[in-house]
Amino acid sequence: MSTQSRRHLLTGGSALLLGACSRPAPAQAEAALAGLKQLAPFPLGVAAMTGQLGDPQFVDLLVRNFSQLTPEWEMKMEAILKADGDFDFARADALADFAANHSLRLHGHTLIWYAETPVAFERLSGSGQAFADAYRTYILRVAGRYRGRVVGWDVVNEAINEDGEGERDCLWSRNLGPDYAALAFGYAREADPDAPLFLNDYFLETMPNKRRSFLRLAERLLKSGAPLSGVATQTHVSIHIKPGSIKAAIRDLASLGLPLHLSELDVSTRNAEAIAGALDMASLADRLAHQARVVEEAAEAFAALPAHQQYAFTLWGLRDKDSWLRRPPNAGDGSDRPLLFDDAGRPKPAARALLDTLAR
């Protein structure tokens, strides 16, 4: 969407939409968020699950505001690979069909993840060629099935160690060596010649050493000729994040010149007594205002990227109550409000901060 047409949308196209610096009445603000995606010059993504698709409010809010969908878990091994090694695509197909039926781009998440080691692979561990063959078959079958339906894949998820130093030891590295990631990218490209293939990880904003390790892996993959074609930073952060950290991370990650996916944004609002120097934000209003500033920083940094590097700006859930941070084992006291829309689907200050940033 051109700047002129975005400006028109804001002023002429619909008087209800927020002006760049207007503060409309609540009703107008509600209407103004009738279409975040209309203002975004890049795809706005959101995570969703099949269990949410029967909720009309969820579907309406998602379709009006977002242009891309990431299956929260249904395209992972845990949902697809059965204990006997057979494949069950029912859940993944349901989300792929939903995306197609609502003209949403579909982002594939995720083919290989240290955290998902289903029985069918554990059973083959140590078997040498049988394991290697099953690994290739899995990636070819899953990526092949959604060829032409996904706009990109997280091929390898969270390959860097928790402490940010070096690459994880995992089922895949133990059976295939450190080149398991390069192999995964090669098989994904074999299955889908066109989809951008991403390396995805978290805490790249708050752990510079992890960001360095991530970039080292990305550079190693590129040097080896692996078809890595995008980098993704999950951006699971909190209101206590140091201002400028997200901008610094996006600047560093963009230095490879590849498309960048801000892939799983949520901003926890829990007061973090345990975090040294954490702001003591007792009031919810203070915490939501801080959350809006964090979202604004992320949106500004992403919007400043060259267009060819703006793959998508994705929220890890729609309404606060849809968040993984409100479900066991992460729910805590159930008070977190990490997303753009509240439990009732109303836009929060963070949603308005995103809209204002997109409308600049």
Query: By CB neighbour count within 10 A (0-12 exposed, 13-18 middle, 19+ buried), where does 90 fall?
Result: exposed
Which stretch in 54-62, 72-80, 254-262, 338-346 sits in contact with ligand G3I by CB under 6 A?
A: 72-80
- 74 near ligand G3I, judged by CB under 6 A: no
- Interface with ligand G3I (CB under 6 A), residue from 37, 76, 319, 337: 76
With CA atoms as reference, report the closest residue to 146 among 226, 72, 80, 67. Answer: 80
Q: Which of 74, 158, 167, 205 is catalytic?
A: 158
Q: What would the x/- binding string for ligand G3I be over residues 263 to 282, using CB under 6 A?
A: -x------------------
Give the number of other CB atoms < 10 A from CB of residue 3: 10
> Which residue among 65, 68, 229, 234 contacts ligand G3I (CB under 6 A)?
234
Which residue of the set 116, 264, 296, 297 is catalytic? 264
Binding to ligand G3I, residues 186-205 (CB under 6 A): 202
Q: 297 an active-site residue?
A: no
If the CB atoms of residues 72 and 297 are measured against ligand G3I, the closer one turns out to be: 72
Using DSSP's 3-state secondary structure scheme, residue 241 falls into coil
71, β-bridge pairs: 48
> What is the number of alpha carbons within 13 Å of residue 64 lying toward its C-beta?
17
Q: Which of 30, 55, 78, 93 binds ligand G3I (CB under 6 A)?
A: 78
User: Inter-axis angle of helices 284-303 and 245-253, to 10 degrees?
Assistant: 20
Binding to ligand G3I by CB under 6 A, coded x per residue (else -) over 21-60, reads ----------------------------x-x---------
Q: Where are the alpha helices (DSSP H) in the chain?
A: 3-8, 26-32, 36-39, 56-65, 77-80, 90-101, 119-122, 129-145, 171-176, 180-191, 208-224, 245-253, 284-303, 349-358
78 has catalytic annotation: no
Q: Which stretch binds ligand G3I (CB under 6 A): 32-40, 71-79, 292-300, 338-346?
A: 71-79
- Cα 122 from chain centroid? 27
Catalytic residues: 158, 264
Q: Which residues bind ligand G3I (CB under 6 A)?
A: 49, 51, 72-73, 76, 78, 157, 202, 234, 264, 324, 327
